[in-house]
Amino acid sequence: MIIEELDAELMEWLSGTNLAHKQHEAMQLLTVSEDQWPHQAMISMGEVIAINPHQLRLALWPGTQTSMNMSKTGKATLIAVQGHRLLHIRIEVERLPEIKGAVHPRDRFEAQVLHVRVDHAPYAEITSGITFQLKDELGAIARWKETIEELRKQAEVAKSDEDPVIG
């Protein structure tokens, strides 16, 4: 099944809230490398936020292969398991300006949701996706909260008359 936008359940899941509860959940972020091979990276719930049903923001570690691939192609796919559904969220991405004085320097992207493919089988239930255990839960969750807050403020920064961004 194809849906054209993030539904209410996905909006809540990607809201950037309840990060302590979502700390073990991860998604795959798929891109295509310069040599045309698929490239897979992991992204946590503290690195992506739904702005509205058609728009996401992502914060990636600076200079990663994934970040370079997204900058070059403008495309990616998020793969996630949520609510017993396997989701393929196809996105077009645009790199955002760097935030001057960011608490956590990241390569940030605005993503337009093109569509979401929802896979499920009538004979089986998906019970989990990729999960992990944080080594420093308190530190990671604090960093995620700050990263999510910077993603929320990204639009405000870009529109500011004071030009606090570095091009």
Q: For 38-89, what is each residue's pLDDT tens digit?
A: 999 999 999 999 999 999 999 999 999 999 999 999 999 999 999 889 999 9
What CATH number is attached to the domain comprising 18? 2.30.110.10
Residue 73 belongs to a domain: yes
pLDDT over 80 at 165, yes or no: no
Confidence category of residue 129, pLDDT binned at 50, 70, 90: confident
Residue 162 belongs to a domain: no
What is the distance between the alpha carbons of residues 67 and 77, in angstroms, rounded to a whole number?
A: 13
Average pLDDT, the chain: 90
Lowest-pLDDT range of 16-20, 91-95, 113-117: 16-20
Residue 134 belongs to a domain: yes
What is the distance between the alpha carbons of residues 60 and 115, in angstroms, rounded to a whole number?
A: 22
- Across the range 92-102, mean pLDDT stands at 92
Confidence category of residue 132, pLDDT binned at 50, 70, 90: confident
- pLDDT computed for residue 166 by the predictor: 40
What is the distance between the alpha carbons of residues 47 and 147, in angstroms, rounded to a whole number?
A: 7
Task: Write down the pTM of the prediction.
Answer: 0.85
- pLDDT computed for residue 156 by the predictor: 63
Residue 34 belongs to a domain: yes
Residue 147 belongs to a domain: yes
Confidence category of residue 157, pLDDT binned at 50, 70, 90: low
Tokens, residue 1: 């099944």
Are 81 and 128 within 8 A, CB to CB?
A: yes
- pLDDT computed for residue 155 by the predictor: 61
Tokens, residue 122: 């009538």
Confidence category of residue 161, pLDDT binned at 50, 70, 90: very low
Report how many domains make up the chain: 1
Are 75 and 32 within 8 A, CB to CB?
A: yes
Residue 148 belongs to a domain: yes
For residue 57, what are the domain limits? 2-157
Residue 119 belongs to a domain: yes
- pLDDT computed for residue 88 by the predictor: 97
Residue 163 belongs to a domain: no
